[in-house]
């Protein structure tokens, strides 16, 4: 019997479980580093390639839109595959689809086909979905005492790749020239290579499969199985819980604001004559703001509460849009706004995810969390689609004002959730 089958078929001693978890986290970290390089590089130049192919600011936002839409499209299928077959097939397939997307983008740019480019970016979105699911894989076999730490380590690994990716625009451009490709395709070559390496690492090294092992242990313990909810059923569950509704709206709003502004920032900076290296640095610092302080944000969420940190994130997003929207061609202020934008996103996502988990019973939590990811990515896709149009009509300042409006429902629902919590708390005689 193989090592993986042995672990799937019998209960694990604590020492063996810890050993498998350490190996799982290490493999996930390595895959996140190389996959993160791919995602960071693509974010830096996707809008610029779209601008070249379409010749329109309004259409340039479709690059990030298609990535985000692809993440939404592939989130549930990849999660379903993982539930049936384990994390290894699901994650390996996701990275592979991302690599196919990168290859398609290269072909589309050479052939000057905008439609083919959009298709490639949808497939690249599978890499984003895989990046999110990798964090869940880090928690499959984690103990209560180490779950937060293990997740944070994987997030930090994502930071390394994502921050390095945009700063490789210069070297990757030279690689593209050696291959006879346009300079802007250099990051796409790195993207494709990173996704391929991620797929190989997961497929070859993620053994035994953490989800299959955890599922077998759960079944042996006699724990109840999760409820099979449809998407409408999951939404009805959310509607009955003020905390869950606030959490999902907070997550969606934070992601929507971030995507709307971040998508058009390279185009805005390019119009003002910023060099590609400066644009790459701005995007890399933005991504550092998104992921770099996530363990600290998690500690703040545990220390001061989910709702206060979620609302703090919305305030940071408002400050970010104010700074970016009034920066004009000042590259330092634009970069400052983008860093704050990433930090606000981190506050909103971490606190919102924690609030969602504690607002749901264990039997409905997995499906509702999947719907939350789906909704988040759809919100981001819509923001990316509209951002180019708003930029063309109202300028970068108008785009930031438009994005800031999405924070308003979060404050309204926070008042409702806090009022509901106050009514449900017994008064002391």
Q: What is the pTM of this model?
A: 0.72
pLDDT exceeds cutoff 80 at 220: no
Q: What is the mean pLDDT of residues 36-40?
A: 70
Residue 219 is predicted with a pLDDT of: 63
Residue 344 is predicted with a pLDDT of: 96
Residue 418 is predicted with a pLDDT of: 74
pLDDT exceeds cutoff 80 at 262: yes
- Digit-coded pLDDT (tens) for 89-104: 999 999 999 999 999 9
Residue 12 is predicted with a pLDDT of: 66
Residue 9 is predicted with a pLDDT of: 44
Measured between alpha carbons, how far is 147 from 357 in angstroms, rounded to an integer? 14
Residue 7 is predicted with a pLDDT of: 45
Q: DSSP string covering 369-414, please?
A: HHHHHHHHHHHHHHHHHHHHHHHHHHHHHHHHHHHHGGGHHHHHHH
Residue 224 is predicted with a pLDDT of: 52
Residue 103 is predicted with a pLDDT of: 95
Q: What is the mean pLDDT of residues 218-242?
A: 71
Tell me the percentage of the chain whose pLDDT exceeds 90: 30
Q: What is the mean pLDDT of residues 113-139?
A: 87
Residue 164 is predicted with a pLDDT of: 67
Measured between alpha carbons, how far is 189 from 171 in angstroms, rounded to an integer? 11
Residue 264 is predicted with a pLDDT of: 86
Residue 145 is predicted with a pLDDT of: 58
pLDDT exceeds cutoff 60 at 5: no
Q: What is the mean pLDDT of residues 382-397?
A: 87
Q: What is the mean pLDDT of residues 110-126?
A: 93
Measured between alpha carbons, how far is 59 from 8 in angstroms, rounded to an integer? 49
Indicate the pLDDT class of residue 6, thresholds 50, 70 and 90.
Answer: very low
CB burial of 352-387 (b: ≥16 within 10 Å; e: otherwise) equals bbbbbeebbeeebbbbbbbbbbbbbbbbbbbbbbbb
Residue 429 is predicted with a pLDDT of: 42
φ, ψ at 326 (rounded to 5°): -105, 5
Residue 401 is predicted with a pLDDT of: 95
Measured between alpha carbons, how far is 346 from 316 in angstroms, rounded to an integer? 10
φ, ψ at 11 (rounded to 5°): -65, 145
Q: What is the mean pLDDT of residues 275-296?
A: 81
Give residues with Cβ within 8 angstroms of 37, minimum separation 6: 161, 162, 164, 165, 168, 190, 191, 194
Residue 428 is predicted with a pLDDT of: 43
- Digit-coded pLDDT (tens) for 145-168: 565 567 667 777 777 766 666 666
Residue 57 is predicted with a pLDDT of: 72
Tell me the percentage of the chain whose pLDDT exceeds 70: 84
Q: What is the mean pLDDT of residues 264-288?
A: 81
pLDDT exceeds cutoff 70 at 312: yes
- Digit-coded pLDDT (tens) for 331-383: 899 999 999 999 999 899 888 877 887 787 655 666 777 788 788 888 888 88
Residue 93 is predicted with a pLDDT of: 96
- For residue 217, count other CB atoms closer than 10 A to its CB: 18
pLDDT exceeds cutoff 50 at 123: yes
130 vs 154 pLDDT, higher one? 130
Q: What is the mean pLDDT of residues 84-93?
A: 89
User: Minimal CA–CA distance to 198: which of 34, 12, 39?
Assistant: 34
Judge residue 224's burial from the number of C-beta atoms within 10 Å of its C-beta, 0-12 exposed, 13-18 middle, 19 or more buried.
exposed
Question: In terms of C-beta distances under 8 Å and separation of at least 24 residues, what long-range contacts does 104-107 make, across chains too?
Answer: 105/42, 105/49, 105/185, 105/188, 105/191, 106/181, 106/185, 106/188, 106/189, 106/192
């Amino acid at each position: 019997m193989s090592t993986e089958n042995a672990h799937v078929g019998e209960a694990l001693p604590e020492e063996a479980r810890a050993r498998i978890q350490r190996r799982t986290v290490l493999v996930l970290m390595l895959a996140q580093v190389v996959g993160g390089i791919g995602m960071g590089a693509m974010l830096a130049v996707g809008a610029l390639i779209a601008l070249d192919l379409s010749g329109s600011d309004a259409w340039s936002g479709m690059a990030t839109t298609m990535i985000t839409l692809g993440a939404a499209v592939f989130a549930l299928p990849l999660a379903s595959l993982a539930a049936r077959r384990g994390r290894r097939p699901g994650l390996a397939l996701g990275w592979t689809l991302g690599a196919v997307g990168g290859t398609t983008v290269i072909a589309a740019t050479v052939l000057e086909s905008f439609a083919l480019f959009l298709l490639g970016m949808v497939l690249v979105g599978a890499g984003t979905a895989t990046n999110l699911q990798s964090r869940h894989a880090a928690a499959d076999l984690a103990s209560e005492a180490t779950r937060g730490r293990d997740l944070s380590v994987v997030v930090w690994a994502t930071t390394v790749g994502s921050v390095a990716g945009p700063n490789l625009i210069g070297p990757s451009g030279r690689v593209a020239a050696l291959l006879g490709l346009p300079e802007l395709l250099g990051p796409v070559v790195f993207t494709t290579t990173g996704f391929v390496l991620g797929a190989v690492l997961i497929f070859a090294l993620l053994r035994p499969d953490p989800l299959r092992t955890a599922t077998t242990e759960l079944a042996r313990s006699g724990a109840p199985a999760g409820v099979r909810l449809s998407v409408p059923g999951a939404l009805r569950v959310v509607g009955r819980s003020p905390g869950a509704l606030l959490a999902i709206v907070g997550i969606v709003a934070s992601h929507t604001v971030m995507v709307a502004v971040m998508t058009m920032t390279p185009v805005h900076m390019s119009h003002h004559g910023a060099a590609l290296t400066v644009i790459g640095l701005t995007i890399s610092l933005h991504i550092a703001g998104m992921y770099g302080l996530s363990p600290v944000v998690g500690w703040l969420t545990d220390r001061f509460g989910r709702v206060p940190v979620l609302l703090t994130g919305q305030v940071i997003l408002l400050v970010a849009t104010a700074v970016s929207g009034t920066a004009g061609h000042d590259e330092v202020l634009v970069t400052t706004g983008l860093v704050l934008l990433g930090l606000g996103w981190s506050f909103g996502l971490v606190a919102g995810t924690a609030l969602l988990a504690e607002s749901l019973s264990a039997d409905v939590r997995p499906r509702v969390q999947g719907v939350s990811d789906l909704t988040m990515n759809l919100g981001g896709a819509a923001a990316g689609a509209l951002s180019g149009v708003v930029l063309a009509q109202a300028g970068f300042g108008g785009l930031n004002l438009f994005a800031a409006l999405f924070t308003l429902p979060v404050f309204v629902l926070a008042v409702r959730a806090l009022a509901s919590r106050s009514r449900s708390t017994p008064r002391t005689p």
